[in-house]
């Protein structure tokens, strides 16, 4: 599948050689010097399923200005080269090529976690689920959530850790997000490894939502110090994150206990949300999550 890095690099090499053979100098320079990436942006069920991809070629602003009158023509020529290089593929196609200046790479659409997954993505997803089954709460935070939040664009991501629980004030992580207007929104994150439910008592792998409620109330009412601006600020939103399921009863329970203003500050993220986002953002799995298949040793050595 084209979302595999090796296959994508092989495709780029083929397209570059085609551009060289056709003496397309500008296309060759773009392919050699641009920051190239690919994202699945289309899917339909025709003929057993067809995956459509967009290739993004990010080039420096100076180069983009020099070719701005030919951008659409160059994108069309690149599409032709990609189609030629992919004639043997039956269920994948490049549906779009976009050339953008590096200063505006933010225009690239964010991967959709609700789309159908490719075979390689399903494999990575299953490996991550197996990892979450055996990971500790600290591993969930350090190996999964911190890299994921960084990839999603959050800043100043700070893990409170568990050495001094008295200073956590209900949060395991705090972070901030910069809006396009440069305003800052602050988030606190309460993480539980197992299932969050609304049962009367907590079980070994479950967290009772009433415990979470106390921690969330503490989090929203306590200031944090942001050293980058030198001020104390309040948390704007609270994430409740579970390495397993957050039951519907638990969501309804906490919604009924909070007033309207605080209810709008609560965001939920369960295992499906974590896994889907981790896969579509193409983050590398933790080293202990990758399943290595050992070769068959039944044959006798000679």
Tens of pLDDT, residues 93-128: 888 899 988 754 444 556 788 888 888 889 999 999
Q: Go through the chain and tell me how many residues it has.
A: 302
The percentage of the chain sitting over the pLDDT mark of 70, rounded to a whole number, equals 82
pLDDT tens digits, residue range 210-253? 788 888 888 888 888 888 788 899 899 999 999 999 988 888 88
Spacing of C-alpha 11 from chain mean position: 24
Q: Residues 50, 44: contact at Cβ < 8 Å?
A: yes
Question: What CA–CA distances, in Å, run from 299 to 77, 292, 295, 302?
Answer: 52, 20, 10, 9
245 and 100 both lie in a single domain = no
Domain membership of residue 302 (yes or no) is no
Question: At which of 107, 129, 158 does a domain end?
Answer: 107
Q: 4 burial class (0-12, 13-18, 19+ CB within 10 angstroms)?
A: middle
Question: At which of 72, 107, 142 does a domain end?
Answer: 107
Q: 189 burial class (0-12, 13-18, 19+ CB within 10 angstroms)?
A: buried
37 and 163 both lie in a single domain = no
Q: CA–CA separation, 276 vs 283, rounded Å? A: 11
Tell which wins on pLDDT, 46 or 64.
64
> How many other CB atoms are found less than 10 A from the CB of residue 181?
6
Question: What CA–CA distances, in Å, run from 279 to 88, 113, 168, 273?
Answer: 27, 8, 30, 10
Q: State yes or no: pLDDT of 13 exceeds 80.
A: yes
Q: Give the pLDDT band of residue 74 (cuts 50, 70, 90).
A: very high
CATH number at residue 126: 3.40.1350
Provide the whole-model pTM.
0.59
Question: At which of 53, 74, 107 does a domain end?
Answer: 107
Domain membership of residue 194 (yes or no) is yes
Domain count, the chain: 2
Domain membership of residue 263 (yes or no) is yes
What is the chain's Cα-based Rg? 24
- The partner residues of 36 in beta bridges, in order of sequence, read 57
Which domain range does residue 217 map to? 119-289
Q: State yes or no: pLDDT of 163 exceeds 50.
A: no
Give the pLDDT score at 3: 62
Q: Give the long-range contacts of residues 136-140, CB within 8 A, separation 24 or more.
A: 136/193, 137/191, 137/192, 137/193, 137/243, 138/162, 139/286, 140/191, 140/193, 140/243
Give the pLDDT score at 282: 82
174 and 232 both lie in a single domain = yes
Give the pLDDT score at 25: 87
Q: Residues 43, 50: contact at Cβ < 8 Å?
A: yes
21 and 166 both lie in a single domain = no
The average pLDDT across 138-157 equals 89
17 and 164 both lie in a single domain = no
Domain membership of residue 87 (yes or no) is yes
Q: What are phi and psi of 284, to 5 degrees?
A: -70, 140
Q: State yes or no: pLDDT of 299 exceeds 50.
A: yes
């Amino acid at each position: 599948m084209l979302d595999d890095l090796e296959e994508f690099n092989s495709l780029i090499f083929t397209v570059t050689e085609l551009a060289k053979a056709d003496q397309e100098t500008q296309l060759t320079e773009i392919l050699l010097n641009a920051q190239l990436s690919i994202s699945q942006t289309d899917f339909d069920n025709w003929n057993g399923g067809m995956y459509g991809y967009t290739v993004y070629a990010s080039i420096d602003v100076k180069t983009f200005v020099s070719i701005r009158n030919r951008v659409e023509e160059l994108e069309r020529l690149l599409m032709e080269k990609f189609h030629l290089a992919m004639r043997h593929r039956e269920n994948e196609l490049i549906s779009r090529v976009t050339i953008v200046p590096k200063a505006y790479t933010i225009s690239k659409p964010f991967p959709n976690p609700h789309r159908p997954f490719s075979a390689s993505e399903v494999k990575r997803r299953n490996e991550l689920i197996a990892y979450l089954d055996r990971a500790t709460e600290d591993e969930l935070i350090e190996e999964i959530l911190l890299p994921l939040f960084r990839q999603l664009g959050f800043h100043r991501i700070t893990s409170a850790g568990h050495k001094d629980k008295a200073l956590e004030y209900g949060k395991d992580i705090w972070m901030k997000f910069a809006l396009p207007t440069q305003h800052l929104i602050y988030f606190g994150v309460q993480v539980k490894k197992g299932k969050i439910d609304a049962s009367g008592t907590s079980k070994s792998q479950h967290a009772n939502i009433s415990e979470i409620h106390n921690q969330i109330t503490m989090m929203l009412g306590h200031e944090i110090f942001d050293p980058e601006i030198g001020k104390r600020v309040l948390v704007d939103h609270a994430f409740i994150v579970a390495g397993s399921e957050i039951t519907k009863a638990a969501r309804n329970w906490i919604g009924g206990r909070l007033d309207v203003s605080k209810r709008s500050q609560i965001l939920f993220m369960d295992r499906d949300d974590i896994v889907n986002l981790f896969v579509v953002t193409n983050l590398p799995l933790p080293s202990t999550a990758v399943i290595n298949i050992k070769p068959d040793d039944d044959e006798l050595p000679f």
